[in-house]
């Protein structure tokens, strides 16, 4: 009953098998291998657009490097107040941009709105030498609150950003969960809606450690090979990262894994809503559930071996507290049903 995070789960068997296959014999290093060469074509097919693709090992690196490609040291990155890159990346975006400033934008349920973005942009005057210059917008999809930006929401936010000359980055650590949730082709919710660069996640959804920075205009990736090398993410045995990504995309594995994770979260949320005193905070649109429960019930779950993080939410009290539960491709129905039985007992 581990609901701490989707990265607490192991590796999808198909991806493990691909790593083992890539382990046969020697191959060119630093991305000159055949598997890595195939990736650009594969991603271009998936996104129905010519792309430039750069595998890296962590989501933090993907975000920080992608932002650095579009944001000068005197630039500003606009992101949601709760964005992972704002609160959980230890200043990596600031470091890799050589000092750009992250400016947080408010918005309910993990989503900024065109108005809150517009208001935040209003504080910076383009060209004024005393002000940092607005450079990038970063959207997290699915959001840190388990909600998903709809197509029109992405397009409207991107339009506000582009109008002011900002590039649009998407933190897609959980992109697969969002694609499944929206039921739209990946192209529609990324570049067709105005996204310029994507952190494409795989680790949380079944890879060992593989993410990719995807540029929808390869011309803007001209110096990215150097940025990645300087960051220490030009992995010498790149074929093993690429093998993970290739297997992840094959036969829609990424979408099948995410569909399971999302379905498990829905089942969990439905059950939690039925628990006396249970309140699910946000719409459950991907694979995360935020719930308030009587502390007695939370304690009972912890004492019986369920693991998940306490997650304070405004309105909590000493008797009723909130927690975050995350499902994954490997979550078992039995674990959910056991947790619900314990919580409801
Ligand atoms: C939305 C989001 N983006 C990026 C990351 C970063 O991933 P990593 O831990 O691989 O650096 C995470 C990890 O929790 C995340 O939730």
Task: Look up residue 134 and give its two tokens.
Answer: 């607005």
Angle at 92 between CA 84 and CA 65, to 5 degrees: 95
> Whose Cα sits closest to atom 9 in ligand 1?
59
Instruction: Encode pLDDT of 180-200 as tens digits.
Output: 999 999 999 999 999 999 999
> Whose Cα sits closest to atom 5 in ligand 1?
59
Spatial CB neighbours of 55, under 8 Å, sequence gap ≥ 6: 31, 36, 39, 210, 211, 212, 235, 238, 241, 242, 245
Query: Are the CB atoms for 282 and 265 separated by under 8 Å?
Result: no
Whether 288 lines ligand 1, by a CB cut-off of 6 Å, is no
Task: Look up residue 125 and give its two tokens.
Answer: 């005057």
pLDDT of residue 84: 98
Whether 140 lines ligand 1, by a CB cut-off of 6 Å, is yes
Nearest to 110 by CA among 142, 63, 86: 142
Pocket test for ligand 1, best of 201, 286, 327 (most atoms within 8 A of CB): 201
Query: What's the 206 CA to ligand 1 centre distance in angstroms?
Result: 14
Pocket test for ligand 1, best of 55, 59, 89 (most atoms within 8 A of CB): 59
Q: Residue 291 — φ and ψ, nearest 5°? A: -135, 145
State how far Cα 153 lies from the chain centre: 17
Q: Residue 194 — φ and ψ, nearest 5°? A: 110, 10
Q: Average the pLDDT over 302-326 and give the result.
A: 96
pLDDT of residue 244: 98
First to last CA, the chain: 17
Pocket test for ligand 1, best of 91, 173, 206 (most atoms within 8 A of CB): 173
Instruction: Encode pLDDT of 212-223 as tens digits.
Output: 999 999 999 999
Query: What's the 169 CA to ligand 1 centre distance in angstroms?
Result: 15
Angle at 42 between CA 39 and CA 48, to 5 degrees: 135
Query: What's the 241 CA to ligand 1 centre distance in angstroms?
Result: 17
What distance in Å separates the CA atoms of residue 32 and residue 238, rounded to the nearest whole number? 8
Whether 178 lines ligand 1, by a CB cut-off of 6 Å, is no
Instruction: Encode pLDDT of 11-68 as tens digits.
Output: 999 999 999 999 999 999 999 999 999 999 999 999 999 999 999 999 999 999 999 9
What integer best gives the mean pLDDT of the chain? 97
Instruction: Encode pLDDT of 226-264 as tens digits.
Output: 999 999 999 999 999 999 999 999 999 999 999 999 999
Whether 60 lines ligand 1, by a CB cut-off of 6 Å, is yes
pLDDT of residue 144: 97
> Whose Cα sits closest to atom 8 in ligand 1?
59
pLDDT of residue 94: 98
What distance in Å separates the CA atoms of residue 256 and residue 185, rounded to the nearest whole number? 14
Give exposure, 131-166, as e/b (b: 16+ Cβ within 10 Å). ebbbbbbbbbbbbbbbbbbbeebbbbbbebbeebeb
Whether 6 lines ligand 1, by a CB cut-off of 6 Å, is no
Residue 313 has pLDDT above 90, yes or no: yes
What distance in Å separates the CA atoms of residue 345 and residue 264, rounded to the nearest whole number? 21
> Whose Cα sits closest to atom 14 in ligand 1?
84
What distance in Å separates the CA atoms of residue 243 and residue 142, rounded to the nearest whole number? 24
pLDDT of residue 225: 98
Whether 287 lines ligand 1, by a CB cut-off of 6 Å, is no
pLDDT of residue 345: 83
Query: What's the 130 CA to ligand 1 centre distance in angstroms?
Result: 33
> Whose Cα sits closest to atom 13 in ligand 1?
59
Whether 133 lines ligand 1, by a CB cut-off of 6 Å, is no
CA dihedral 217, 27, 211, 121 (to 10 degrees): -30
Whether omega before 142 lies within 30 degrees of 0, making that bond cis, reads yes
pLDDT of residue 178: 98
């Amino acid at each position: 009953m581990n609901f701490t995070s989707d990265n607490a789960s192991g590796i999808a068997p198909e991806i493990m098998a691909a790593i083992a296959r890539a382990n046969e014999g020697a191959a060119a290093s630093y991305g000159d291998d055949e598997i890595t060469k195939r990736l650009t074509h594969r991603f271009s097919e998936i996104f129905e657009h010519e792309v430039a693709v750069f595998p890296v090992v962590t989501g933090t690196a993907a975000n920080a490097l992608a932002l650095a490609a579009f944001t000068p040291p005197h630039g500003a990155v606009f992101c949601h107040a709760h964005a992972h890159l704002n609160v959980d990346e230890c200043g990596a975006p600031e470091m890799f941009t050589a000092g750009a400033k992250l400016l947080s934008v408010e918005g309910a349920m993990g989503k900024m709105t065109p108005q809150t973005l517009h208001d935040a942009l209003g504080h910076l005057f383009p060209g004024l030498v005393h002000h940092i210059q607005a450079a990038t917008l970063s959207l997290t999809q699915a959001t840190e609150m388990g909600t998903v930006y709809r197509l029109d929401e992405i397009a409207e936010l991107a339009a506000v950003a582009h109008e002011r000359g900002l590039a649009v980055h998407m933190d897609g650590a959980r992109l697969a969960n969002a694609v499944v949730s929206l039921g739209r082709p990946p192209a529609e919710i990324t570049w067709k809606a105005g996204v310029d660069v994507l952190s494409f996640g795989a680790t949380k959804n079944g890879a060992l450690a593989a993410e990719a920075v995807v540029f929808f205009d390869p011309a803007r990736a001209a110096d990215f090979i150097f940025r990645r090398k300087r960051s220490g993410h030009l992995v010498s045995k790149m074929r093993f990262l690429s093998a993970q990504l290739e297997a992840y995309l094959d036969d829609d594995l990424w979408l099948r894994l995410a569909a399971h994770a999302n379905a498990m979260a829905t089942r969990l949320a439905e059950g939690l809503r039925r628990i006396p005193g249970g309140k699910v905070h946000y719409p459950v649109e991907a694979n995360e559930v935020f719930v308030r429960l009587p502390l007695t019930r939370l304690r009972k779950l912890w004492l019986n071996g369920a693991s998940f993080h306490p997650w304070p939410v405004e309105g909590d009290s000493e008797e009723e507290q909130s927690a975050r539960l995350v499902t994954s491709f490997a979550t078992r129905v039995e674990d959910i049903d056991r947790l619900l039985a314990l919580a409801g007992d």
